[in-house]
Structure 1
Amino acid sequence: MKIAILGAGALGCAIGAALTEGGNEVWLLNRSAAHVEAMRRDGLQVDDTNGSRRVKVHATTSAAEAGIVDLVVVLVKSFDTDAAMRGALELVGPETLVLSLQNGLGHEDVLADVVGRERVLAGKTYVGGVMRNPGHIESGVAGKATHIGELDGRITSRVNAIAETFNASGLDTTVSANIVGTMWDKLLVNVATGALTGTTGLTYGQLYDEPLLKAAALAAVAEAMAVAEAAGVALSAVDPERAWTLAGEGLSSAFKTSMLQSLEKGSITEIDFINGAVVRWGQRHGVPTPVNATLVACIKGIERAMGDRQHTTSCMEPE
């Protein structure tokens, strides 16, 4: 299968490397010239439980270079979805499918507006990745599940074929007839750890050593579960402890959430699509979400301070 990873950062490269080693033609698209050049020159260096190796990959900043593919896996940051997909239409042919594996809720509607709802699939993955340097990632694939499905819940041959390709490449993938519930299941995991590590700067290992932070995480997840219940969403778990456990399962103590990685790079986060989504859905269905609203406010405050520092620094630079 010819596959493009749109937004081949740490997670995209982890998935792309597995699919490449599984015998697929995979194109890693990233707007970072340094990252792409490093992969072109030296291959993608992958560190995981099996050690360290270099994987020869196709990497580019240009969708036109990759050309039409069978499948586009979308892994750009939530707020970049529309612009990224519109800038990569050279990937899309008559039979191309577009699969979102992004964190949070709402990306499928954005993609449908760009390429048509009939070709959009939804999914969630628990695979992890950390960018060490340009062209160098730490990958957490082993034992981490991926779920994909049609937006209307049908089990189709096209989604089964993608799952078979992923599974043959070592990506533990199942087809879901309740992809909305699956998306909420993953949202609960992000709610459990993302904002808390973003506000504290802690790795997974440090986070799980702090009982007070666990209590806060469980409270945030409990709010999200109450919202899902009010919205009629069928979840796979009934205990907030499950999301807390699943979030760190199989990851090293040094792993960092994507939200913390974004803040450390000086980038804004996906908070509006994660805890912020819980708050919006809560308002819609009359469910109070004070813990999630507080976490959103804290991350927004950190982003504001970060932006102010960057603005001050740029103003002080000599012309």
Structure 2
Amino acid sequence: MKVAIAGSGALGSRFGVMLHDAGNEVTLIDKWPEHIELIRKNGLLVDNGEEKRYVNIPVFYPSEVKETMDLVFVFTKSMGLQEMIEDIKPVIGEHTKIICLLNGVGHETILQEHISLHNIFMGVTLYTASLKGPGHAYFNGTGKVEIQNFVVGEKEELEAKQIVELLNEAGLNTSYSTNVTTSIWRKACTNGAMNAICALLDSNLHQYCSTDQAEPITRQIVKEFVIVANKKGASLNEEEIVDYVLQASKNIGSHYPSMHQDLVQNHRYTEVDFLNGAVARMSKEFEHEAPYNELITQLIHAKEQILEVK
């Protein structure tokens, strides 16, 4: 399979390496010059905490890629999706399948402006990864992936299951979902309850969840998410997600969520508008208020300005 990874940061690199190791013809696409040039010079340095190795995978700027791909996995930041899809139009043919595993909600609205609905496949992943620097990807542990065809139909379902098989052959624990909307919103809700708060407090998950304030704050954020999610066709349980978030600190407590990595560690823009900000906007559509998520969004944008992010 000819596979493009559109957005070859931490998670994109992880998927790209695993698909490459499984024998697929993988092309990495990214916009970070230092990252691209180091990979071109040395290969991608893959680090799992115990051993390091260099993996030679072709990497290009979006404007350089002209060959039509069979599959394109989008791993940009949410706010960069529109620009990336526009930049890589030459690789998207009539039968090219787009697999979106981005954090947050609302990405299908952007994708369907450029791609046939029949070729869009939405999903969610619980794999984690980070970049220790340009050309240096760090990932260990395991995770899972869920994928579902955006358009309901026998042909689209078969194609989704073929993508599932491809990912499983690469060692990515993947299943076909019959309700990926719920899974996407569940992850968005989980991220919405953790990411921005850890970025604002400059803390990891364990530090935040050890405070007396963690439970009431988490509960209110989740409550606002669940109201919107269920109106959008998901089926979320408030208590279940609150318990999951608070328990997660025992399993991945030392982990700094991606919004902390972006904002605090690297002074980059965050995905808050596709998480807490999306809930604040959508709540108004249903004549509800989401004061916690609205305030969190405003505070993150204020911190972006204070840190003069790029």
TM-score over 0.5 for the pair: yes
Deviation at 1:288, TM superposition (A): 2.8
TM-score, reference length from structure 2: 0.90
1:295 maps to a residue whose letter is I
* Counterpart-to-counterpart distance in 1, 2:75 and 2:100: 7
1:301 corresponds to which residue? 302
CA offset digits 1:249-291 (Å, max 9, x no partner) = 86472x3222112213222211111001111222222333222
Q: What pairs with 1:222-301 in structure 2 (closer than 5 Å)? A: 222-235=223-236, 239-244=240-245, 251=252, 253=254, 255-263=255-263, 264-301=265-302
Q: Is the 8 A contact 1:144 1:250 kept in 2?
A: no
Q: Is the 8 A contact 1:188 1:243 kept in 2?
A: no
* Counterpart-to-counterpart distance in 2, 1:3 and 1:248: 35
1:183 corresponds to which residue? 184
1:45 corresponds to which residue? 45
1:148 corresponds to which residue? 147
CA offset digits 1:188-217 (Å, max 9, x no partner) = 121121111110121234334334234422
1:34 corresponds to which residue? 34
Partner SS state of residue 127, structure 1: coil
* Counterpart-to-counterpart distance in 2, 1:279 and 1:109: 17
**Are residues 1:98 and 2:98 paired?**
yes
Q: What pairs with 1:157-176 in structure 2 (closer than 5 Å)? A: 157-176=158-177
Deviation at 1:19, TM superposition (A): 1.4
* Counterpart-to-counterpart distance in 2, 1:9 and 1:249: 27
Are residues 131 and 211 of structure 1, via their aligned partners in 2, closer, same or farther at CA, if it must alter by over 3 Å? farther
Partner SS state of residue 121, structure 2: strand
How many residues align structurally? Answer: 307
Partner SS state of residue 31, structure 1: coil
Deviation beyond 6 Å, 4+ runs, structure 1: none
Partner SS state of residue 224, structure 1: helix
Deviation at 1:111, TM superposition (A): 1.2
Extract unaligned runs of 5+ from structure 1.
Answer: 311-319
* Counterpart-to-counterpart distance in 2, 1:137 and 1:69: 24
Q: Is the 8 A contact 1:231 1:285 kept in 2?
A: no
Comparing 230-239 with 288-297, which one deviates more in the overlay? 230-239
Partner SS state of residue 110, structure 2: helix
Partner SS state of residue 131, structure 2: strand
Comparing 51-60 with 174-183, which one deviates more in the overlay? 51-60
Q: Is the 8 A contact 2:118 2:150 kept in 1?
A: no
Are residues 53 and 218 of structure 1, via their aligned partners in 2, closer, same or farther at CA, if it must alter by over 3 Å? farther
Q: Is the 8 A contact 1:196 1:213 kept in 2?
A: no
2:60 maps to a residue whose letter is T
1:89 maps to a residue whose letter is K
* Counterpart-to-counterpart distance in 2, 1:246 and 1:125: 19
* Counterpart-to-counterpart distance in 2, 1:22 and 1:70: 16
Are residues 143 and 231 of structure 1, via their aligned partners in 2, closer, same or farther at CA, if it must alter by over 3 Å? same
* Counterpart-to-counterpart distance in 1, 2:99 and 2:63: 16
Q: Is the 8 A contact 2:190 2:241 kept in 1?
A: no
* Counterpart-to-counterpart distance in 2, 1:148 and 1:248: 27
CA offset digits 1:48-75 (Å, max 9, x no partner) = 2653332222212145446211111111
Q: Is the 8 A contact 1:60 1:66 kept in 2?
A: no
RMSD: 2.3
Q: Is the 8 A contact 2:72 2:96 kept in 1?
A: yes
2:219 corresponds to which residue? 218
Comparing 53-62 with 98-107, which one deviates more in the overlay? 53-62
Are residues 25 and 78 of structure 1, via their aligned partners in 2, closer, same or farther at CA, if it must alter by over 3 Å? same
TM-score, reference length from structure 1: 0.88
Are residues 50 and 19 of structure 1, via their aligned partners in 2, closer, same or farther at CA, if it must alter by over 3 Å? farther
CA offset digits 1:200-250 (Å, max 9, x no partner) = 121234334334234422321122112223444223775223441586686
* Counterpart-to-counterpart distance in 1, 2:162 and 2:256: 32
1:24 corresponds to which residue? 24
Are residues 128 and 150 of structure 1, via their aligned partners in 2, closer, same or farther at CA, if it must alter by over 3 Å? same
Identity %: 28
* Counterpart-to-counterpart distance in 1, 2:208 and 2:78: 25
Partner SS state of residue 269, structure 1: coil
2:129 corresponds to which residue? 129
Partner SS state of residue 128, structure 1: coil
